Amino acid sequence: MYKLIDAFPKQLKEALEIGRKAQLRSPEGPYTNVVVTGLGGSGIGGRIAAQLVQKEAKCPIEVYNNYYLPGYVGPKSLVIACSYSGNTEETLAAMEQAISKGARVCVITSGGAMLETARTKGLDHVVIPGGNPPRTMLAYSLVQQFHLLHHFDIIGDGFEGAIKSAAGMLEDQRTQIQAAARGLTENLLGKRLVIYSEANTEAVSIRFRQQVNENSKELCWHHAIPEMNHNELVGWAGGSDDIAVVLFRHKEDHERSQVRMAINKEVFARHTPHIFEVWSKGDTAYARQLYLIHLGDWVSYFWAEKKGVDPTEIAVINMLKGKLAEVK
């Protein structure tokens, strides 16, 4: 796991090359909507991508983490099905629905039944390196989302330079990022983690939560501001000092959201002293979000290391899949 997290910047660069070399059919279109279907480490890339391009995208982009697709999916829809293994049953079911509805379907996978179906039915597909835990291959699946959105004229090509530059920044700041992650980890040990960010970057909080769940073997939760201020903030009446709060911050957060965060910190402080702000770094939105993703991945690894647990072990998920396979 250490080597895979450390390789994230290199993976971003390799993913750009994979996307450039992908053989895709004519984009046709235009498309009235984009739906990304995928779960866990395979699906989070779509959510991150959708948020990063929301101001640029020429049509709505939604992410579905389930067996089904929304009713509006049809011939003018672009559906991106992402399953690292190629065998995720929910994503396979959603992909079949997309095909039956006449949508333009694209696949991001390393193999499995999904790649076989894509080749058999002539679907556009991008093959990424296999053989590793899906959550460690985010760079590959995430970057392909941008390549596909660009190919189908949903976004421009600015992502390429931004990601390449971000990868270089992450490599240059490797020592500082690891040091920051180790320091944050020490403050989280023995605490129940709560993650907050502005809604614009909620996907990064989701990624951090997922990594803490799977790598660190810890329960935690996240929420986004300002929505959190209309419900969960009241729940802090039941807060306690065994809770640690991490706030992912961006200088570009809406000015009113920044005011809200300052007030929120006052509420949290009535119940816990463990409040930590993590500010993003980088010259672009891509860089800033990739910075926080990488730092959060390191925290999840160091937390597992401190606890003495195996960050790669997911026996309970494998058990679930085994039991599901028994039910026809």
Task: Give catalytic residue positions.
Answer: 214, 230, 321
Q: Are 25 and 124 in contact (CB under 8 A)?
A: yes
Q: How many alpha carbons lie under 13 Å from residue 235 in its C-beta half-sphere?
A: 8
How far is residue 184 CA from its own chain's centroid? 21
CB atoms within 10 A of CB 213: 16
Residue 82 tokens read as: 């992402």
Backbone angles phi, psi at 247, to 5 degrees: -105, 115
Element of type H or E holding 201: none
**At a CB cut-off of 8 Å and minimum separation 6, what does 85 contact?**
42, 109, 110, 111, 112, 130, 134
Sheet holding 275-279, edge to edge: 220-225, 192-198, 243-249, 275-279
Pairing of strands 275-279, 243-249: parallel
Residue 80 tokens read as: 């991106």
Rounded distance between C-alpha atoms, residue 226 and residue 94, angstroms: 31
